[in-house]
Structure 1
Amino acid sequence: MEHISIKEIGQIIKQNRFWLGIIGLLDLLSILLLWLIDAQAFYVIAISVILFSLLVFVTAVLYLAKKERKRKKAFDEFLAVPDSYHEEQLFHDAENLQAEIRSFSQILHEQMDQCAQTKLQLNDYEEYVEAWAHEVKTPLALLTFMLDNHRDELSEDVVCKLDRINCQMQRYIDQMLYYARLKGARKDYRFESVDTENCVKEVLEDFTPLLEEQKIQVQLDIKENTLFTDKRGFAFMLGQFISNSIKYSKGKDKQLRISCIREHEKIILSVRDNGMGIKACDLPYVFEKGFTGDSGDRRKKATGMGLYLAKEMAHDLNVELDVSSDEAAGGCEIKVYFPVVEE
């Protein structure tokens, strides 16, 4: 027989305290009557009655505890696999709760059906968003191709505007695509050794029109050139940081510095600019969904999704984010802390 804990015995006594109290009172009454009938044999008979009652009490408690444990086990098995077999087992082990069990089982199956339907709808939504994103990128690629072939026929101002719009549309499409992926049930990350400098340059190339239009000087200082991560996820995060720096750039001497170093068993990638900066009161909320902060006219164009999605991606990639800013001096720095993985 399995060991029954003191806690289980206490619960059984608490649940059946009324009947145990009745038995105790009956024993006292029996002992009193025996004393009235035969005072000389009272002590012997009283001890016998008490011992017998204790034996019955212990046997009853052990039986009820074993039955309760069996019922709990059947209930746990039903919750793990709520099929008809485990439901019948639960009925058998909890005969006095059959009506409640049937009601609970019906509600549970309804909830499971709703969850399955919701999961199916979520998968359909994810597939639709991915298909839409890939489809809409085709005409964008065609527009980019036509723009590249007819640059000489357009004024420099028009070319800059078209490049900026094209870059923004690509970024918004990527945000929507990654939002669907991050919230979806299926995620296809591929962790591998990534060449840091090459990946950074590839991301910067996508922002070339905006960087040139804003006349932002880019500085690279990549001392740690290998990251073990998902390349697409890392590129997406980095793109959000660069986009944020461009959006909130100001002044004439605009700078964007990207560095990567190894420090205290961590690889730290830093994206630093000398733009508007972030108010101290806004810093704790910059990674929250929809937060745009107090950024003047730029707030009207901000969605508050870029850094939120970057934070969600960082969670999936098991990296840490940290943001700091000096509003008085200007500028913002976002650091990504990667774990060191020895191959």
Structure 2
Amino acid sequence: MSFLSYLKDKRYFIGMYAVTMLFISMIMFVSVKGQDALNNITYTNAGCFLFAALYITIGYFYRKSFYKELGEFLGKSQHQDWAIEALPESQNNEQELYLQLLTQLSKDQANETQLLQSEIRNHQDYILSWIHEVKLPIAASRLIMENRAGKTAEYLVDKLEDELSKIDSYVEQALYYSRIDSFSRDYFISELSLNLLVKESIKKVAKLFIAKRIRPDMESLTLSVNSDSKWLGYIIGQIVANALTYTDNGGSITFRSEETDSEKRLIIQDTGIGIDAADLGRVFDKGFTGVNGRTHSRSTGMGLYLAKQMALKLGHDLSITGAVGEGTTVTIHFMKMQHYNDLR
């Protein structure tokens, strides 16, 4: 910092000094007559000017080291982790406050950058996992066509439809995953029949219900809820798909609804292999597959994670209970309308 720049920063002090000295000189001029008044004014102004000049000069050289270090710091490329530590030490309370502000801003930026990098890594991991998953039905379809000799057209169409259904499921999951952050721009709340939503979800995987001889029970499904049909339909579809995956042939999946003073519930209960107690608290974590996902089927660990996130964004919630060999129960909790409006 040059001396002229420092004087510019001190312009208010210099202006106040000039006004004060002018006022004092006027008082002395009207109070004392003749040559004595001029002598007093001259000596007083000269003395005060000397002290003011010394104050400004000493202050400049005192501050000069700080500004010099700061200028050198700004001229270098600093690594974010230790850049703030390399700043010069403060010389007064004002500088200390600014340094504290910079430190806090740096920490906030570092946290945001770390979070963003984590999200990017998770997104890349999911894309890689998704690519490997979607390649399986594509490869299976190619094998079906290569070994089509001796197979009827009906058989080939049926097998290819199964593989296309898997591809469609993976593509749908990727689509919802990519839109989860822009959820607020793509939903419409209306009153929906749980019975119709469940029927629609079952219809999409009807062939698997038939192939595994699994019976859906919907006799106790009578309530209506306030939600978005598309997003809630996907949530129910993910739960149904999981239930089918881990329920053995000849099992059953029961759908029922309940109502309390504060909420309505859609309960989906299967007679499948259940969930290990150690996995219950983590089944909604991103990318978590658990014991079942590693031993019974290939899984990306994204289905229930997406379902949970969508439910929360809709103002609902998901909970899960179960035990190994005793099946699994997934509950979707819907707040009553007055509580939902309070939440929004």
Shorter-normalised TM-score: what interval?
0.5 to 0.7
1:241 maps to what in 2?
A: 239
1:332 maps to what in 2?
A: 328
1:312 maps to what in 2?
A: 309
Q: Rate the CA distance shift 1:273–1:322 in 2: closer, same or farther, 3 A.
A: same
Please state if 1:172 is matched with 2:165: no
- 1:294 alignment partner AA: V
Secondary structure of 1:236's aligned partner = helix
Q: C-alpha offsets along residues 105-164 of structure 1, whole Å, 9 cap, x if unaligned?
A: 89969x6xx99xx8xxx9xx9xxx9xxxxxxxxxx9xx9xxxxxxxx96244x3443232
- 1:237 alignment partner AA: I
Q: C-alpha offsets along residues 6-35 of structure 1, whole Å, 9 cap, x if unaligned?
A: xxxxxxxxxxxxxxxxxxxxxxxxxxxxxx
> Shift in Å at residue 280 of structure 1?
1.2
1:197 maps to what in 2?
A: 195
Q: CA RMSD in A?
A: 3.8
Q: Rate the CA distance shift 1:163–1:297 in 2: closer, same or farther, 3 A.
A: farther
Equivalent in 274, 280, 284 of residue 271 of structure 2 = 274
- 2:153 alignment partner AA: L
Secondary structure of 1:267's aligned partner = strand
Number of equivalent positions = 219
Structure-to-structure mapping, 1:255-266, within 5 angstroms: 255-266=252-263
Unaligned ranges ≥5, structure 1: 1-94, 130-139, 144-151
Q: C-alpha offsets along residues 262-289 of structure 1, whole Å, 9 cap, x if unaligned?
A: 2343211011111111111111111111
Unaligned ranges ≥5, structure 2: 1-91, 128-137, 142-150
> Shift in Å at residue 310 of structure 1?
0.7
Q: Rate the CA distance shift 1:102–1:326 in 2: closer, same or farther, 3 A.
A: closer
> Shift in Å at residue 340 of structure 1?
2.0
Secondary structure of 1:294's aligned partner = helix
Q: Rate the CA distance shift 1:185–1:218 in 2: closer, same or farther, 3 A.
A: closer
Q: Rate the CA distance shift 1:104–1:325 in 2: closer, same or farther, 3 A.
A: closer
> Shift in Å at residue 322 of structure 1?
1.4
Secondary structure of 2:201's aligned partner = helix
Q: Rate the CA distance shift 1:103–1:331 in 2: closer, same or farther, 3 A.
A: closer
Q: Rate the CA distance shift 1:282–1:106 in 2: closer, same or farther, 3 A.
A: closer
- 2:239 alignment partner AA: F
> Shift in Å at residue 103 of structure 1?
11
Please state if 1:291 is matched with 2:288: yes
Q: Rate the CA distance shift 1:96–1:165 in 2: closer, same or farther, 3 A.
A: same
Q: TM-score, normalised by structure 2?
A: 0.54
Q: C-alpha offsets along residues 314-339 of structure 1, whole Å, 9 cap, x if unaligned?
A: 110111211111323x3111011111
Share of identical aligned residues, percent? 26
> Shift in Å at residue 222 of structure 1?
4.2
Cα distance between partner residues in 2 of 1:103 and 1:284: 40
Q: Which has the larger radius of gyration?
A: 2
Q: TM-score, normalised by structure 1?
A: 0.54
2:160 maps to what in 1?
A: 162
Is contact 2:212-2:250 (8 Å) kept? no
Cα distance between partner residues in 1 of 2:252 and 2:194: 20
Q: C-alpha offsets along residues 44-70 of structure 1, whole Å, 9 cap, x if unaligned?
A: xxxxxxxxxxxxxxxxxxxxxxxxxxx
Q: Rate the CA distance shift 1:231–1:97 in 2: closer, same or farther, 3 A.
A: same
Q: Rate the CA distance shift 1:283–1:108 in 2: closer, same or farther, 3 A.
A: closer
